Structure 1
Amino acid sequence: MNIGIVGLGLMGGSLGLDLYTHRQQTQDSNSPAFQPQSYRILGISRQQQTCEVAVERGVVDEASVDLSLMNQADIIFICTPIAAIAPTVAELIPYLQPHTILTDVGSVKKPIVDSCSALWPNFVGGHPMAGNTQTGIDAAQHHLFVDKPYVITPTANTSLESIKIVESIVDLLQAKIYHCQPEEHDRAVAWISHLPVIISGSLIAALKQEDNPDVALLAHYFASSGFRDTSRVGGGNPELGLMMAKYNREALLRSIKSYRQTLDKITTYIEQEDWETLDKQLNQNHSDRLKFHF
């Protein structure tokens, strides 16, 4: 099996690192081989230097700036920014074998699955819920996906065999596999990923509106773990935040409106000095947070 990776940044590079290392460990241990372990890793980047670094670091066996390398691939992970996923599929089509499986790692699924499935029927939507604010091949790291959710979003027309093959590779990453519909995925991640980016970014922007320069300066000096943790995702990759809003617009707006209503209620509690109700809400928040599987 030949595994292709288009886009050798944080996600694609980390994917390649773990697959490359897993294969090496399997070969060294002389354990019985099965199909997913008998693979070569092929990479594509827009920059020749990235290709060279990827080979040197053991991210891929071979890399190129030429998409024709993907004519050897049985499955291809598209690890580009969201806006480039569908155009990349279109560019790949002339080089694909009829059996080639395409999958992606985009954080929005409905528009991607719709557009890419129309271009290439053997497409399996995917989203590993892992990552950080770093970018580029130098950000690639081992074990990025271990114990993290990896969401697969098949439709009624998605090949079951293709889903199994994607799952067999994801299993090697030691990620937790979940299945859901693309629409369900987008509504869920709007709450736990995209809305936090907007809220966090709004906190940073709101602080700039402090009209007393001495207070603003003190806030910068005093900022510690609370502000650091709350502002982290809002201060991340601006392009990623924009793509989340653009491609998951409907679900994000829905969650923003609900959040605004909740914030308005809390504002009212404070204005009216309704400490009892506020206390109940804060205790409920504390209890509800414990239910999440971090």
Structure 2
Amino acid sequence: MNIGIVGLGLIGGSIGLDLRSRGCDVFGVSSRQQTCDRAQARGVVNDASIHLSLMAAADVVFICTPLGSIEPIVRDLVPHLSPNTIVTDVGSVKTPIVQAVSSLWPNFVGGHPMAGTAESGIDAAVPDLFVGRPYVLTPQPQTPAAAVDRVEEIARLLGASVYRCSPLDHDRAVAWISHLPLVASATLVAAGVREGDRDIVNLAQHLASSGFRDTSRVGGGNPELGVMVAKYNREELLRSLSIYRDCLDEFISDIAAENWQALEHKLKLTQQARQNYKL
């Protein structure tokens, strides 16, 4: 199987490493020749180019670029594709992407591998990044079944656990477990900065340990990613943030009223509820 990858960063590079090791021929496109050279040197791809024409031989093309680039890249890619080529993406928001790209290419299957690290770029690519991780496919009723099955086959080849749902259901779910945590994490860091006593801020920065590290990690990530998920999943993010704010107000009220019994009850419920998430 010939696999094309547009965007040779962490996700695209990791897909390339795994699929090459499983017998696929992999061709990559990047906007930077330096990245293309590095991808070939690392064995991520058989061949790489800055030109989308390299995708002409691909059976399946993965678009592994930032959300804002997916639609324009597919628009430029279409002239180079054969009619049977399957196109899929790895974007973390699905509804607007699936709507836009499906109108450009009927053989499009929305996808989102739920895996990653804090690193980025081609040198961050690692083998087995997707093993045991969820891989969501978001076909529409008119999406060709054979195309969906082929992308699922590849996702399983990567070792992922495949889920199928509608684009909207995907976006509502990831708003809770990915996009809301990003904003909550960022506001945690922002709140600490607002402490008026700079000596206390300095002390807190030196005392910070695993609790602060874990809860602030996603808020200290790539700002472009944060803006893109807010822009493309705005409605669902605002909905989850509103409910989160209501919950936060309830905690504030309990603490202000010294209602320790109510606070303990809430914490017991969250302790139990967290066990339902497959972390």
**Aligned ranges for residues 152-231 of structure 1 at < 5 Å?**
152-231=137-216
- Counterpart in the other structure of 2:256: 271
**8 Å Cα contact 1:126-1:153 kept in structure 2:** yes
> Alpha-carbon deviation of 1:74?
1.1
Matches within 5 A, 1:75-90: 75-90=60-75
Aligned to 1:133, the other structure's residue is in SS state coil
CA distance in 2, matches of 1:84, 1:44: 14
Please report how far the alpha carbon of residue 248 of structure 1 lies from its aligned counterpart in structure 2 after TM superposition.
Answer: 0.2
- 1:57 corresponds to which residue? 42
CA distance in 2, matches of 1:165, 1:123: 11
Deviation at 1:130, TM superposition (A): 0.4
| Residue equivalent to 1:135 | 120
- Give the distance between the partners of 2:43 and 2:30, measured in 1 at CA: 15
Q: Equivalent residues in 2 for 1:1-294 (5 A)? A: 1-23=1-23, 39-294=24-279
State the distance in 1 between where 2:187 and 2:104 align.
37
Task: Give 1:263 deviation, angstroms.
Answer: 0.3
Task: Supply the distance in 2 between the matched residues of 1:259 and 1:65 (Cα, whole angstroms).
Answer: 43
For residues 148 and 276 of structure 2, the distance between their equivalents in structure 1, rounded to whole angstroms, comes to 30
Deviation at 1:22, TM superposition (A): 2.2
Which structure 1 residue ranges, 5 or more long, are not aligned? Answer: 24-38
Q: CA offsets, 1:146-203, max 9 Å, x none?
A: 1000000000000000011111111111000000000000000000000000000000
1:19 counterpart letter in structure 2: L
Are the equivalent residues in 2 in contact too, given 1:133–1:237 (CA < 8 A)? no
Larger CA deviation: 168-177 vs 250-259: 168-177
Give 1:36's aligned residue.
none
Q: Quick check: 1:77–1:103 contact (8 Å CA) kept in 2?
A: yes
Q: Which amino acid aligns with 1:264?
A: D
Q: Provide the alpha-carbon RMSD of the alignment.
A: 0.7
Question: How far apart are the structure 2 equivalents of 1:59 and 1:229?
Answer: 31
2: CA distance, partners of 1:22 / 1:120: 27
Instruction: Quote how far apart the aligned CAs of 1:123 are.
Output: 0.3
In the superposition, the TM-score normalised over structure 2's length comes to: 0.99
Distance 2:129 2:225 in 1: 18
User: Deviation above 4 Å: which 4+ runs of structure 1?
Assistant: none
Runs of 5+ unmatched residues, structure 2: none
Indicate the SS of the match to 1:97. coil
**TM-score, normalisation: structure 1:** 0.94
- SS of the residue 1:134 aligns to: coil
Report Cα offsets for 1:128-152 as digits up to 9, x if no partner: 0001221110111111101000000
CA shift, 1:56, in A, is 1.3
